[in-house]
Amino acid sequence: MARAYSGVLGAMAMTFVIVRGLWFGTLADEILGLCLVVFTVFAAVGYVIGSIADRTVCDSVENRFRSEIARLQAASATTEKAE
């Protein structure tokens, strides 16, 4: 997930820099230089955000799984006592 966020955020930032540069009539080498900087920064930010999101989702799924297993084990123990 981190790599996906990194790529998407970096590409979006780079697109906005290109559009902005074309809008204001900036030279191509200046646009590309700024694109490299902005892409790197936003890709790093996207990677951090993606890592946090990935960890959050994994923790949530693991907690839900563990609570479901605990519930099933408690139900099984109750069924075994009734027999």
Classify the C-alpha dihedral 63-69-73-74 as positive or negative. Answer: positive
User: From residue 76, how far is each of 66, 68, 80 by CA, in Å?
Assistant: 15, 12, 6
User: From residue 26, how far is each of 6, 18, 19, 34 by CA, in Å?
Assistant: 26, 9, 10, 11
Residue 17's CB is within 10 A of a number of other CB atoms, namely 21
pTM of the model: 0.77
Q: Each residue of 18-66: pLDDT tens digit?
A: 999 999 999 999 999 999 999 999 999 999 999 999 999 999 999 999 9
Q: Is the pLDDT of residue 82 over 80?
A: no
